[in-house]
Amino acid sequence: MTLAPLPRVRRVLTAIDAEGRSHIAADGPSPAGFALPGSPFRSDNIWHTAAAPAPVEAPDTITAHKGVLPPPGGTVLRVIDFPPQAGSRAEQAALAAQVFALLYPDADHHAGSERSAGMHTTDTVDYAIVLAGEIWAVMDRDETLLKAGDILIQRGTAHSWENRGVAMARVAFVLIDGTRGGMSRR
């Protein structure tokens, strides 16, 4: 049985026109999406900021964003669709290695982790908002099941995401550039 992907995320972008009036500037799927071939796994970068405070009139440059990390001093909003885990531990590790190599080479992927194939660390504060389905947030020492409507605040910790259910899970992530011990990562 083939698992159908979730409908594409709708990105609605507002702007102010030359007369100072607000309007809908874009309405549709993100132009910065990636679907893993042969899998319903999907990652859509929705928006990013390059500074804080963020200029509200900044142009849409999301297609230029690469990797998992936000720009220095900035943020990135990303929505990821996680299919249920399948295959052996070795197959899961191979899939995680492929995803990190293709999409997130700037993450500290803990390849070979005994805890979870997707274990990684980023120097960011992340707001992970479960939009659909259920997903396990896996840490070095423990884990918790998150359901639609739950929010996890990830603060630069080693972590992984595992969909152990039978349906797709969708999570929105807001990644905020962070520091460790007061030192910038860049």
The average confidence (pLDDT) of the chain is 94
Contact (Cβ atoms closer than 8 angstroms) between residue 157 and residue 139: yes
Average pLDDT over residues 71-80: 97
Range 31-184 has CATH code 2.60.120.10? yes
β-pair type (32-35, 42-49): antiparallel
**For residue 102, is pLDDT > 80?**
yes
**What is the per-residue pLDDT for 180?**
84
**What is the per-residue pLDDT for 183?**
60
What is the arrangement of strands in the sheet containing 160-162, beginning at the earlier edge strand? 143-147, 134-138, 160-162
Q: Report if pTM > 0.75.
A: yes
**What is the per-residue pLDDT for 68?**
95
**What is the per-residue pLDDT for 184?**
56
Residue 114 CA: distances (Å) to CA of 88, 89, 111, 139? 13, 10, 9, 12
Contact (Cβ atoms closer than 8 angstroms) between residue 13 and residue 30: no
3-state class of 62 per DSSP?
Answer: helix
As a whole number of angstroms, the distance between CA 140 and CA 152 comes to 16
Residue 3: pLDDT band by 50, 70, 90 thresholds? confident
Task: Among 1-5, 53-57, 74-78, 133-137, name the one with the lowest average pLDDT.
Answer: 1-5
**What is the per-residue pLDDT for 182?**
67
Per domain, the residue ranges of the chain are 31-184
Contact (Cβ atoms closer than 8 angstroms) between residue 152 and residue 116: no
* % of the chain residues with pLDDT over 70: 96
Average pLDDT over residues 142-166: 97
Average pLDDT over residues 123-135: 97
As a whole number of angstroms, the distance between CA 93 and CA 23 comes to 45
As a whole number of angstroms, the distance between CA 172 and CA 100 comes to 18
